[in-house]
Structure 1
Amino acid sequence: MFHFVLTQKNRCLLLRFRIKITQLSNVKGTIERYKKAISDNSNTGSVAEINAQYYQQESAKLRQQIISIQNSNRQLMGETIGSMSPKELRNLEGRLDRSVNRIRSKKNELLFAEIDYMQKREVDLHNDNQLLRAKIAENERNNPSMSLMPGGSNYEQIMPPPQTQPQPFDSRNYFQVAALQPNNHHYSSAGREDQTALQLV
């Protein structure tokens, strides 16, 4: 049977061999990681470029849509129509007519809804008023003295209307009629000498 005896020299050689193998494996792992990093960077760069191109195209489309909408609004307002052809003007007129008809239809719909609501509200108020009158009449039947209070049904029938106070006499509102009449024999008698007071209105 063959026995291999490790000497001190052989042990050193074996240790160096193992170190070299470990270093080679580490170098190989480093190279693999480097290749992977380069691949990831290249993929990231390509994705970023694709995204940038996509967003540039989308922004260009949005700018075109904004310009088209602005031109359409100006035409609807009657601006920038000098270069339009008769066919384009007829199309624009048709669009405006349809828009006006839709606006009027919506306005009439809202008005009819408001009228219907007001009519229902009027009926509700009338019913509430009738209910209050019935409650007041019932309370008056249960307590007759309440009908003589202000606001009762018999209060206006019993209480006389308020008397109108006579206005005080003011001499500034009157003047003598005789001062304005010429001398006349018919008014020369003593019985005609009474001066009549005429009130100014």
Structure 2
Amino acid sequence: MKSIIDRYNKTKEEHQQLLNPGSEITFWQREAATLRQQLQELQDNHRKLMGEDLYGLSVKDLQRLESQLENSLRGVRLKKDNMLTEEIQELSRKGNFIHQENVELYKKVKLLEQENMELYRKAYDTRGSSNGNGYVPRGFTIGTDQLDGPIQLQLSTPGPESVETLEKTTESSSIVHKELNDMAWFPPQELIMQ
């Protein structure tokens, strides 16, 4: 109740001073003094929070300061933990997205490998039926008994095939190899296991 009466008297006094132009200077001087005092208190409090100028504080004051610092530290750690959690979640989302892209690229590479094998088979069938020597482009041979299974590649010397046919095959093969080399990918574990 006393604080309410004090506030009323102070407000009434300030109102009367505003009505009197001479007392307006006094009002602003008092306001400046109050602001200087608040600034000094804030600077003192800041120094205490930084661990400076602790002389003259009682044990109770030091315990209060310690409690205030611990509460502030808890708030800082909580904010830091939240930010780290959000960053981890964002990185996890990016990792999942990259993984999906990786799976798609792996599927494209597998498709290109299948198309490349079809080109080799067509070239083998064409060469096998035309000259009967079974030469496969780029100096590799494919065993005819294992076309549906794993392919065995062997180095061989080029036969007397026409340079034009060899250039066509080399050109289409180099395009496929260039496309494969341009893709940066790592096969996902679940696709490797299949």
TM-score by length of 2: 0.48
Which of these two proteins has the greater Rg computed from alpha carbons? 1
TM-score by length of 1: 0.47
Looking at both structures, which has the greater relative contact order when contacts are Cα pairs under 8 Å and sequence separation is at least 6?
2
User: Higher helix share goes to which structure?
Assistant: 2
